[in-house]
Structure 1
């Protein structure tokens, strides 16, 4: 039952990351750290063998290395890089490619929607919201954490963590 309780942590922090990125264009470090800590607690429940834990750690490390490089090149935000790595830690290699594919599709759709919205003036009521003004500004990036979090929630029910936590 403890492992099922911990599965609440992942969706909560994914939703929190998406909301934070939407409203502030930032994903606080505490979200990625909480996700990593949650995985460590989950791993300690005995749900996984040591080799499986190692593979999840390798997935997180690989994604961190790639996304940190993209961050250093100015292609993605630091919060996005850390969130993707923390997510990979939970998903492992089994669902990593599916996650990256879904995140790419959702991120592309989000980017196109925001770029399209930026070609039109904001409605009066929306124009008073600071986050809407920030999103509408062409100099502002895209809150890709929304796509990363949504993809993680789409993929989560297909993961080994989810299956084992639910006794499957």
Structure 2
């Protein structure tokens, strides 16, 4: 039987990730409070439910690899710092075994989002009032809220995690 604390901690992950997607879509920012909250909840989840130190190490390794790759992309100006922190916090939750699936999924969703933004910008050009969220400035800046793609990928991969199995079961 799942403990109430586990239910709260594991149930908050998808809620916070979805909140991150909505916030990034509307404001093009991922608040540090949200990212650090995901990190803290991930640490609590690992403390209460990880099968051992080896498992904790693999989750931390996944986050470290994600951060290193993300930092490289940030240094080249391809993604924002908030995206890197958000992806790293998600990687801590998903762990090493799901890291490649997560990377593939957010790459695909990022491409879909970019194509949709380009199409939306062109289609909505005659009616600027319909451009909401990041689309309002997309014509000038050409920035995409990659947190949306990260969140969709995280929610897609989350059911494959032991956290989800404990949550439903």
Tell me which residue corresponds to 2:146.
Answer: 144
CA contact (8 A) 2:134 2:144 kept: no
Which residue pairs with 1:110 in the alignment? 113
* Cα RMSD (Å): 1.7
Superposition deviation, residue 55 in structure 1: 0.7
Change (3 A) 1:125 1:141: closer
Query: Is the 1:4–1:166 contact (alpha carbons within 8 Å) kept by the matching residues of 2?
Result: no
Deviations 1:86-145 (A, max 9, x none): 110000011111111111111111100101122231536425x4644123x242301111
The alignment status of 1:61 with 2:39, answered yes or no, reads no
Deviation at 1:18, TM superposition (A): 0.5
Q: Which residue of 2 aligns with 1:28?
A: 31
1:83 maps to which residue? 86
What 5-or-longer segments of structure 1 have no aligned partner? none
- The corresponding residue for 1:154 is 156
Provide closer, same or farther for how the CA distance between residues 68 and 154 of structure 1 changes in structure 2, counting only shifts above 3 A.
same
Q: Tell me the matched-pair count.
A: 165
Q: Residues of 2 paired with 1:55 and 1:122: CA distance?
A: 50
Structure 1: how far apart are the matches of 2:126 and 2:54?
Answer: 52
Identify the residue that residue 101 of structure 2 maps to in structure 1.
98
Shift of 1:44: 1.7
TM-score by length of 2: 0.89
Detail structure 1 runs of 4+ shifted over 4 Å in the superposition.
Answer: none
Taking the aligned partners of 1:141 and 1:124, their CA distance within structure 2 comes to: 17
- Cα distance in 2, alignment partners of residues 4 and 130 from structure 1: 32
Aligned to 1:6: 9
Paired with 1:107 and 1:130, the residues of 2 have a C-alpha distance of 17
